Each structure stands twice: as C-alpha cells, then as structure tokens.
Amino acid sequence: MKTIQVKLAKRSYKAICGFGVIKNLAREIKRLNLGSSAYIITFSKIKNRYGKHLVKSLKGSGINYTFKVVADSERSKSLQSCFRILQHLARFDKNKKVFIIAFGGGVIGDLSGFIASAYKRGIPYIQVPTTLLACVDSSIGGKTGVDLNLGKNLVGAFYQPRLVISELSFLNSLSRRQIRAGFAEIIKYAVIKDKLMFKYLEANHAKVLGLDKQALGYIVNRCVRIKAEIIQQDEREEKGIRTILNFGHTLGHAIETAGGYQKYNHGEAIALGMILASRISKKLKLINQDTYLRIVNLIKLSGLPVQIKGLSLKKILAAQYRDKKFIGSVNRFVLIKDIGRTIIKRNIPLGIIKDTLGIPSSL
C-alpha cells in the first residue's frame, strides 16, 4: 500500500493505492468526519461485482448508504442525468450529513464530482476508481464536469475529493480494451514528465498490461505522484503548469466528440491525440524522427490505435474549435521537446493542423 499526499492547503487529501486497501474505506471516512450517509454513484456491473466490498466496510461502521446506478455510458455525463440524480440525492438526504462516493471509472468520477460541487453549494465526495484510467489520472486533481452536445466537459468545476482509494484488485475485471485505455494515460505521464518511466514502459509494457502486481503498483503510484506534484503547483490551471496534463487532449477530445463518444473510448482518442501532437512537434522541429517513432511504437505495442479510421477528418477539425483549450480563436497545444520535456504552443497554423490530420490545405 502506498499513500500519496495531495497537498493543497485546506483542500489537501490522501490518495491510497494498492491491493486490499478498500478495507480502509470506513476508517478513513470516520477520520475525515465526512458524514453518516453515503450516496454511492456507480454502474450496475460495478455494483454487482464489487459493491459488497463497500457495503461490508460501511455497514461495519454504522454508515447509512444507498446506491444510485446510472447507465454505463459517456452519455450519463449530461445535465439531464445530473438533474435526475440531484432529485434522488435530495430525497435520500434526510439527516443533512450526506457525502458522495464515486464508485467507477472516469465517467462516474466526473459526474459524481460535479454533482458534489453543485448540491448545497458543495458536499464532500470520495473517489473509489475501478478503471486503470481513473486510478492513474481522472480520480486525482478535482476536475469535474459533464458534456454538452457541442463538446466534452463544457460544464464543470474544480472540486477536490476528500479522499481517493484505488483498490487495484478491482482492475482484474477490466476488458483488455479498458486496460489499454488506461495505459494511454500512463504513456502520457511518461512522455510529459519521466524519461526513465518511458524506458521502463518500453521494457515492461506487457507486465503492466497484464496487471502484474509489482509492475502495476509501481506505475500507478508513479503516475499519481507525478499528477499530485503538478496540481500542487497549479490546482486550477491558472499558471500554465497543469496545462501539460492536456498532452494529446486537444485533438484527442475532438476525436471523441467527432465519434459521438462511441467510435473511440477516451484512452484510444488520447493515444491518437498524442501521436498527432508528437507529429506537430516533429513538423515544428521540436523533436526528431527517432523520438517520434519511440512514442508511436510504444502506443502501437500496447494495442492502442495509431491511425484514425472511420471518422471525418473535417469533423474532427471542427470539433477542436469548440474545445476548452481554445482561448478565443487561438488554439493551444501541449507539444514536446523531448521525452520528459514539454512546451506549450499557441496559434499553431491551420495548415500544419490540417497536414497533420491529412486534410488537403485547400479544404
């Protein structure tokens, strides 16, 4: 078990990662004095497979609870879904001491955190991630949000959890595709911040993807530590430091949106976005061909897509203009100068973006 402190003054919290750590849930709730009623937002399959672990811990400590099951889809991250959940939460909240447990992956975490930020102007919430992607990335940092038809996470808030407990044994039920999606974010952390970690992944990607306990524990904790270090310096993305976490996301989110959140999952879209951002970096002579190929090859070795298929490239281009990472009409890309070194570039010429996507400049 590893405990990493996310140090944010009054909003500081612990991220506990390991095998068997879920047994500490109720004890941590009591220590934090979060309340006496847990409102657990989750998917049906997560509740059925792992809900008993939460129930055992909560019951043993006298904490009242209820499950709110939502559809297992990115489409659950909508204002309509939020409204229904808030109505249900208000009916459950009889003793005025309710807190939320986000029990699932990134969709559940984003949705639950946003609801926690909105209900009564803010109630406590805990992240209990059940996907690799959520363990290494989305459960840490306090970004919450829901989608609009025009784009991903366009409505949201920075709202930190009070605790993150990543029970790594939960990952054993993930599909290979879900594991690969999480691995995309792991690659991201290595590319932006840790050259040695990138070398480790080149040599040990099969172990991480196979959920080898030692390799998995090392990588998850390394990613969480990197993210904690970044957000401690720039919690609300106001200084430009936290922005590097968006490597691969400018065009990655556009790919997700253009595919209606169905064609590619988040990790697959980010993998493609990282390749495109690396390609732009190469076009701007920030990196050489060898560095570019190392990134592409690691993504390919992990089984993630390396080419966009079945989507309109012009639709992707249009979707990127609605992304939050645009400031007015000025685009903003996180690019790389080397593995482990980033640079933020604004106003990348449209011709370079089109060429990167393979769109003729005349269109």
Domains, the chain, in order of start with CATH, read 2-173 (3.40.50.1970), 176-357 (1.20.1090.10)
What pLDDT score was predicted for residue 343?
98
Coil vs helix vs strand at 324? coil
- Pairing between strand 13-18 and 37-43? unpaired
Can you name the residues that pair with 59 across neighbouring β-strands?
none
Q: Kindly report, residue by residue over 268-300, the tens digit of the pLDDT.
A: 999 999 999 999 999 999 999 999 999 999 999
What pLDDT band is residue 363 in, cutting at 50, 70 and 90? very low
CA 320 to chain centre: 19
pTM across the whole model: 0.94
Structure tokens at 154: 């366009």
pLDDT for res 4 = 97
Q: What positions carry a catalytic annotation?
A: 121, 143, 185, 227, 237, 242, 246, 249, 253, 266
DSSP conformation letters of 90-120: HHH-SSS-EEEEEEESHHHHHHHHHHHHHGG
- Which tokens in the block code for residue 209? 């993807």
DSSP 189-237: HHHHH-HHHHHHHHHHHHHHHTT-HHHHHHHHHHHHHHHHHHHHH-TTS
Q: Which of the four pLDDT bands, split at 50, 70 and 90, describes residue 358?
A: confident
Under DSSP, the state recorded for 163 is: E
Kind plus residue range of the DSSP H or E element containing 51: helix 44-60
Per-residue tokens: 287: 């990196």
